[in-house]
């Protein structure tokens, strides 16, 4: 338990637009609560969001969770990918429909740039569907690469896609 007290605060973005998306997000949160060496601290409200990139598809449900973890970023990524695989995620079309998508947005103040792992998430500062739920949980969290708070990123955001609050409620 002591290692969790000293764990890294991470923010995980989640989204779905297939097969009852809100239920899929709740299912993913249930799996995140069971990630080894980790404690789910809070979750944002759910947001109904307009698709970005590939726009000819159903709208998404998005949220962000705050996780304290003693896992490395690479181990955490493996856990997230295992949850996605368990839930039937397929990666056929970039930005296409998905049963679940789990992304490490922030991992403490670490900056990681590897072939298959980039933290902070490389697109988070451009995406309203990420910044709205992240702002709800952590408006003063600092983007380690830019030195700007989530509130500052949100204020400067150029993304005009629609993001609608569905319900208030944190873990």
Q: Which domains does the chain have, with CATH numbers?
A: 2-167 (3.30.70.560)
In degrees and rounded to multiples of 5, residue 160 shows phi and psi of: -105, 10
What pLDDT tens digit does each residue of the chain (171 aa) get? 444 568 999 999 999 999 999 999 999 999 999 999 999 999 999 999 999 887 788 999 999 999 999 999 999 999 999 999 999 877 666 666 889 999 999 999 999 999 999 999 999 999 999 999 999 999 999 999 999 999 999 999 999 999 999 976 544
CA distance 23 to 126: 26
Active site residues: 89, 98, 101, 103
Exposed, middle or buried: residue 103 (CB in 10 Å: 0-12, 13-18, 19+)? buried
Distances in Å between the Cα of 48 and the Cα atoms of 18, 74, 115, 161 are 13, 29, 31, 11
Residue 169 burial class via C-beta count within 10 angstroms: exposed 0-12, middle 13-18, buried 19 and up:
exposed
pTM (2 d.p.): 0.92
- Residue 163 CA to residue 132 CA, distance in Å, equals 8
Instruction: Report which secondary-structure segment, H or E, holds 24.
Output: helix 21-32
Q: Greatest CA span in the chain, whole angstroms?
A: 48
Tokens read off for 6: 């000293």
Q: Give CA–CA dist 154/9, Å, rounded.
A: 20
């Amino acid at each position: 338990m002591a290692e969790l007290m000293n764990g890294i605060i991470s923010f995980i973005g989640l989204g779905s637009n297939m097969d009852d998306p809100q239920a899929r997000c709740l299912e993913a949160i249930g799996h995140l609560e069971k990630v080894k060496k980790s404690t789910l601290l809070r979750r944002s409200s759910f947001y109904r969001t307009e698709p970005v990139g590939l726009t000819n598809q159903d709208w998404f449900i998005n949220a962000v969770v705050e996780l304290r973890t003693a896992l490395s970023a690479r181990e955490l990524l493996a856990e997230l990918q295992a949850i996605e695989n368990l839930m039937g995620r397929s990666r056929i079309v970039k930005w296409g429909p998905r049963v679940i998508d789990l992304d490490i947005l922030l991992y403490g103040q670490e900056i990681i740039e590897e072939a298959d792992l980039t933290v902070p998430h490389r697109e988070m500062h451009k995406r309203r569907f990420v910044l709205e739920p992240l702002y709800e949980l952590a408006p003063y969290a600092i983007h380690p690469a830019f030195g700007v708070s989530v509130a500052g990123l949100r204020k400067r955001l150029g993304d005009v896609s629609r993001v609608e609050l569905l319900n208030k409620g944190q873990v």
